[in-house]
Structure 1
Amino acid sequence: MSRSSTQWSSEEKPADPTSLLLAAGERLIAEAARRFPIAGDRHDRAYWMDAMIEEAPVGLFFKDRDGRFLIANKATARHVGCGRDDLTGLTDFDIFPREVAQVLRDCEQQIIRTGEPALDMEECYRDVAGRRKWVLTSKLPMRNDQGEIVGIVGIARDITDRKRQEALHRGQAEILQMIARGEALSEVFPALIFLIEDQVADVTGSILLIDHDRQCVRHASAPNLHPDYTRAIDGAPIGPAVGSCGTAAYRGEQVLVADIAEDPLWADYRHLVRPYGFRACWSSPIRSSQGQVLGTFALYSRTPGLPTPACHKLLGVATHIAGIAIERKEAEDRIQFMAHHDALTGLPNRGMLDERIATAIEIADDENRSVALAFLDLDNFKLVNDSLGHKAGDTLLKTVAARMADGLRPGDVLVRLGGDEFVLIVSAPRRNAKGVAARLEAVRQTIAAPVTLEGRTVQVSCSMGVALYPEHGRTPTELLANADLAMYRAKEIGRDALHFFSNDMAISAHEKLRQQEELRRAIACDEFVLHYQPQVDLRTGSVFAVEALIRWKHPERGLLPPGEFIPFAEESGLIGQIGDWTLRAACRQNKAWQDAGLPRLVVSVNVSARQFQEIDWVERVRSALSDSGLDARYLELELTESLIMADVQQAVALMYRLEALGVHLAIDDFGTGYSSLSALKRFPVGRLKIDRSFVQDLPGDADDAAIARAVISLAHTLQLRVIAEGVETREQLEFLREAGCNEIQGFYIGRPVEAAAIEARLNEMEPEGRWPEAGRDRSGSHLTLQPGDLA
């Protein structure tokens, strides 16, 4: 019960309220007597006064000093919940619970003691029927002719409806705030049910949600229903005659059952509700913003009948709020799912991997078991993507993921890391590597089964690396890293294989990491140096070019040839930085030779596949030439055959852009790849370079001799010059000269040496004539060398 009162100052104190009330009555009676003469005498005025009090829409009552009701009109009796005649002579203690009556008495005694009225008090109580009422009351002291306070007069107005509306609006706002804060439905639903139950007398609320398969309804919340009943109806089917809720979900409309005992919709279910005394059930579907039925909100009543219009409206309010709550929760669930699952396959993603591994380890420790972590990668998946398109690639990934998921056992976890990489976490007995291998081999066989894509049947294999807990690591990070190492070992031995981690792999990985750090330091500390090997025209004996070959001046191991670090640089991705350094250093050195007045040479630089694939590669070449000041015609870029053939169309376009700069292009290691003749004729190159593998056994090896002659003949037919590398003997030189080879390079002419040695030898020689044409326009001085001059 709450109360608010207003106290008047002596200056503001109103006239005696009883007098005011009587004066008002007298005026009304006088007006009635004027209009209706029958009411003119004093007896009639008393009658009209009584009638006025009795019929007033607000409660009017008089109490004596002890709090007994002396006079009370019908409105007062309605407020209390009993008959008017029954109220006379009673005190509040005879009507209300003692704690409520005591508050009322204390207020009234305060008025009697002080003579001060209490105005506009909000009083809350339950009437004799147990219904909660809110009343706005003003109480004033009542005096006799001698001015003594003999009791109080009260005026009370029922504000229950207003307070309920306020409570409803406040409750709605609080529940919407709960939804906005993302509180669980298990908190939101009871609050919503309590709000509606508080608004409607003698009802009990229930919320059921439609199951994911949309075949039945599931208990969500019913805080005041008996648990046995909620368990009994949990899982009830959705159908045309399944009580109120199952039928409402089926129809998608309100189902208002006035009498459960008689309504045929409850024929198969009334025995469930009978023990709890409910006679009516009014159910309304909960809908999404798109109109889909999500569940039902129901009110049970122990009194037969239909809901009042106000109750009907509240059902609409409840279902609307419940729909908002459910949709918000579903949206949060979708966001959470998307954050932790792969959008394509629906599998857990990398974000959940560590958590899943940690959980598997914890369970393994509790049960004295092992965990096998398998890192797998599909072999040649890029080929499927490139040949059939990304849509077919996505279909393949989904098919493979579904196949693996179908084979999972309880406790197994499958995660997609991205691309065509997956991780499989398998629980296994300790020291049972053979059993793990057998299970994982079965997974590999499942993956390898044919798949139909875009009307074509394809098969893909996978490479799988496995690390075991606790043998190969005790943390998720260690296990994943070691399984990854094992997977790459499976790739290295030919793919389509399963490989378990071993300590040798860890040692190798640490060694690679050390090499990588050393190589990074070498780049940062400028530990590289270029050596240059001359290239000679066989017809004139003139040196027209040098090939720039990189060496690593290792601070501990000395001068290292490219074979000891270039393959690792390519594997680690550092080749791009090293290649850029080589290009710039070669351009600077050639320009320095020219500025020193030495004969003008072409410097030849090898291009890595990684450099060639960079979208700004042409700009980087342009920048190297611009920064060094070297004319583009004195730079030749050597492109490997396999590099060009990886993507012919892109390679041809890039080569023409390089040619437009003015640089020369050559195909290195020709004959070791798989060049298409139709593609070869499109390449804007000036030279083919015969690989040393076809030169080293000349002229004795008939096969190598045939290949060398064929390459030379093909090049001449395409109007290209031919240079052979790896020439080490006079016999090789003479064979190549006789076969029509234009140029040679190798130890027989000179080993790769530092720039200073090249410069010294060039200073000793006299320039004579012009350089001969060698592919694209080469012009300038040339040097004549005898075989072995630079050896």
Structure 2
Amino acid sequence: MPDSPRARFILYSTAGYFVLAMAWIFLSDKLLSNLIDVHSMVWLSTVKGMFFVLATTAMLRIALRIVSTLPTANGGSVLSHVAHSHGPIKGPNVTNYFLAVGLPLTMLLVRQSVGSTDHPLLILLVLPVILSALLGGLLPGLLATAVAAVGSTIVDPVPHGLRTMDGRDALALALLVLNGVVVSFLSELRRRAQIKAHENEELLNAVVSGTSDVVFVKDLQGRYLLINGAGARMMKMAPRDILDKDDTHLFPSPNAQELMASDRAIMQRAMTQTHEESLPFPDGQEHVFHVTKGPVVDKQGQVRGLFGISRDITERKKAEIAQQIATTVFEGSQEGILVVNPQKRIVKVNPAFCRITGYAAEEVLGQQPHMLSSGQHDAAFFRSMWTAIHDQGFWRGEICNRRKNGELYSEFLSISAVRGPDGSVQNYVGSFTDISKYKEHDEQLNRIAHYDPLTGLPNRRLLVDRLEQALRSDVSNKRMLAVCFLDLDGFKGINDQYGHAAGDALLVGVTRNLAQELRAEDILARVGGDEFVLLLANMESPEACSQALDRMLLAVATPVDLPQAGISVSVTASLGVTLYPQDEADTDSLLRHADKAMYIAKESGRNRYHLFDSDSDRRAQQHSKMLHVLQNALQAGEFVLYYQPKVDLLNGRVVGAEALIRWAHPEKGVLSPAAFIDHINGSSLEQPIGQWVIEAALTQAEQWYLQGLNLRVSVNISAHHLLHPDFCEQLKLALQRHPNLPPANFELEVLETAALNDMDQAVALVECCKQLGVHFSLDDFGTGYSSLSYLRRLPVDELKIDQSFVRDMLTDDDDRGIVQAVVQLARAFGRKVIAEGVETKAHGAALLSIGCHLAQGYGIARPMPSHEFKDWTARWHTEAPWKEVAQVATEMETIAFS
């Protein structure tokens, strides 16, 4: 079965024609033979033949029209399918001529086989003539007609006889020839029209298939009837997968609905329209198309569909946008831009170029960029620049150029070579920024960053740089470098009294006086409010350094006029000095050592200098390290309290306990305060450790009280801790955390020297604490040389005699006298008195003999952990030897007063 529509149509048409013709010939003759006589049948056969010729001619015309317009599956025609299936339509070939001869001869043989003299059956020859004309055109049709005519003349249907032609036969023959000629000419016209249609179709296909534009045709429902390869490729689909589908199968719904609505509007208006459309495609990008759409109209003027031609202008749009951006950047850029041709002539400049250089565009176009040269760069500079452009394609750097008014300015210039497809340079594009103001600003920033704005002296940053240079220089020439840290004495008072303006004037005046004493190689820097650093280079000896330092102290002491205050003032300075390379340290360490030495000079009386001592510094470092270790010990809970009993020698009762700190070192065991207390005193740890002692002692006292051990626990408070502004408040909070302990069971022991340093504050703090209910004891009494008025003012409850007096009272009459005086003084002021350092029973008896019956010391008990204290109190009441002390003391007192 043929595949193409045209081949199938021809097959069905010829087969139908053959069946119809055969039926007409045999059935019509049979019918006539039964109805009329022989003479009438001859005449009717002629009429029947003429009718058949007219009928077949009409059918041929109808067939030709049908074939030329028959639609195909893809919107073309049958002819297009024939063209694509069989190649280009050419003239008749040998096969056509063979058929033109063979078909009539075959029909003559059929006619001969019928054998009827009355019925020549010339109608049988019409079919091969028509087929030859249809298949081959004019010449094969005429050849078939000639063969049929000649054959019908010379071949008699009666076997072995020759045909004599009468009028009837001549008429039939003429009709046969006329039919053949007409059909041949009509077939030739059809063939030529088919050739022209094929050529037009080939041309159209070449245009549609070869264009990069999308060409499509849709029906009234928006379904695709035709789409070319460009459209199918853009959709990433085959053409057959697009045909008979509408836009909803190709695009997202919103876009598809918009397209179909637009198409319907165009078909309704029946007008061609050109516009731009943006559509998403399978490549994930939004494509922009220039679209021409119009209606497809039939001969009757009815709209049958829609055609469209879409050109993808996405890249053009991007290029237009890029060009617009480039133009905007070029015209609106704050950087100067110039374009130079390969001959190094300026062809284009932007407004910023004119603004920066002062030249108008028409003044520089056609000129060489060298017109801007400042003359500050040599030929080697420009050779290097152009070499980089040629080798790397660009150059950038700082350059100095000249404006139209002759002013020099600095610019940061970037030059790029623009090359064509062949690699040749088409242009050079230079862009530059005027950095003159930036450089001035940088210089200002550099001065601010490296110099003191008030005095103009180098600041710490520049000082460090100069110090590093000086260290390298002095090492090489084997001279000493003196690093001196200078701090003005009394500057704060002047600044506060006369104002900051006067203080600034003083600093400027001191700077001026010091500068007059400096050598060229010396450096003076200001590193703080009233702090300066001197670098005295190339010192030959310590003696030379000492002389220079004396001159500096005298320079500082030179009076300075203060116009703001209307006075002239003189200040002194404290100088800390370290010598390099004797102090073989780095830059930071040298400055730090000089700073430490300055503080020592200030503490030593001011208006002097002090030379840094490395041994003292090592001790300070050890102290700092020890504080760090103690801080960790406090956080780790390594401190514990030991308790030393206080007893009443008259009745043997335990009246209290002094809490003494110990360090339970994880490696060295339990350490006494002698191993670490000096590092704590006066340090930042003094208050936190003192607060811990109070909290721990309160906790233990509360626990003992709840266990039935009613005694007063005392702790030692340092001067710094006691005089802290919030000491009383902190003590109040601590007591509140232990509500089960009566405040009277807690006692604070403060050194006499601590109370004497600030008597007013000490009195206020003691009174505040006593209002909380706690007791106060004045520790180490007798060592502070307090006056009777001080003792009267201090609201303490108890005086503790220092152990240094108690220990030697048995052998030293002076110490015994001091102890006896303290006891009598306590009685006079109504204070209790307790003696520490009681090491023997003889000490106890002696104390009782002079009226002091409260005591503590190693002779009674050593400090012990809290868990041993309660057992000790039980044993103490049963120890007979201390019960005898009261009796011995009574006897000694009787002897003394007898």
Tell me the TM-score normalized by structure 1.
0.48
> Which structure shows the higher helix fraction?
2
TM-score (norm 2): 0.43
Structure with greater contact order relative to length (CA < 8 Å, sep ≥ 6): 1
